[in-house]
Amino acid sequence: MTQLDAQVQAFVDQSMSYYPADAVGAEVAKQRQWYNALCLALAAPRPDTVVIKDESVLGLDGYLIPVRHYQAKPKPKPRPRPRPLPADAELNSNLQVVYFHGGGFVVGGLESHDDVCAELADFCGFDLVSVDYRLAPEHEYPCDINDCIAVVDHLLNQGKKLILVGDSAGGTLAACVANARSNYSGTQLLGQVLIYPALTGGMQTRSTQEHANAPLLTQSDMAFYHAIRVGGNESKVPKQDPHFCPMQAQSFAALPPSFLFPAQIDPLHDDCERYEQALQGAGVKVQNNTNLGIGLVHGHLRARHTSDKAAANFKAMCTAVKDLGK
């Protein structure tokens, strides 16, 4: 395994002190307790240029889905005299980033990724909505993807132009939503940014073997998360369902422009490579930023203020979102 630099190793050590390596063997309530403590310990102060509002969206089955809106305040710029608004001002006012958090479909929520979402909104100057989709095992698939689709449909029906962003399990959901609503690509669905996503549904790849015992996400962790989404019964995992696994889609041709950000030292690294090949084969614009993830581990979003490599990768992610909104 590639040796981590001192900054990334310090991040791993700090994370492991809150979230033990064998955590998936514990009760889910305990897993959430550990994860919440980790997120709180590593959280950065929220930028004061972002206004937050919590709301709910009516789901497909009547469930009220909690969402959190992040409105980026315009940053003041000294101007000698009044100037007309830029040509893209109307687009930006109608543009919405939709964020789906990671956590293996089991942990996470509005609070776990609050600082990430706030910083992303602040950097891009775009409004953002974070989706608190239902978690397993209390709510089995397809509750998670149905909640995500319901929020996206709600925004599409408002005429919003959307950029989908997700990390880890949230990357899975973002890619599934992009496929489910690919008919909006080129009009209202502007693109997707996937951060160390799970895309192949547990397919055996070189990286699952080479990094089977990688820090912060192992192959056994992946197997647990993959099965618990359907109640822990592997026999219930869908085999040809693009709402469950992005790579199970029959066609990728209508997907929007896509930016992929894998971590090198991660069993999921090659998922981005497989997805990139599928999108390229379908003629979809895709950029796999594999070089930016060299020396980084799964979950490195939380190291963006303590690791130079993670900081550079986060900046590139934000830039990708901003470019999609131009």
Candidates 266, 270, 300, 307; catalytic one: 266
Candidates 101, 113, 298, 300; catalytic one: 298
Nearest alpha-carbon partner for 288 in 276, 274, 300: 276
Strands (DSSP E) found in the chain = 50-58, 64-72, 95-100, 127-131, 161-167, 189-195, 258-261, 286-288
Give phi and psi for 256, each to the nearest 5.
-80, 170
- Whether 54 sits among the annotated catalytic residues: the reply is no
Compute, in degrees rounded to 10, the torsion defined by CA atoms 307, 309, 315, 320. -140
Amino acid at 173: L
The span from the CA of 195 to the CA of 273, in Å, is 13
| 258 in Cβ contact with 272 (< 8 Å) | no
- Whether 168 sits among the annotated catalytic residues: the reply is yes
Give phi and psi for 51, each to the nearest 5.
-100, 135
Candidates 15, 112, 130, 168; catalytic one: 168
- Whether 266 sits among the annotated catalytic residues: the reply is yes
Q: Which residues are catalytic?
A: 168, 266, 298
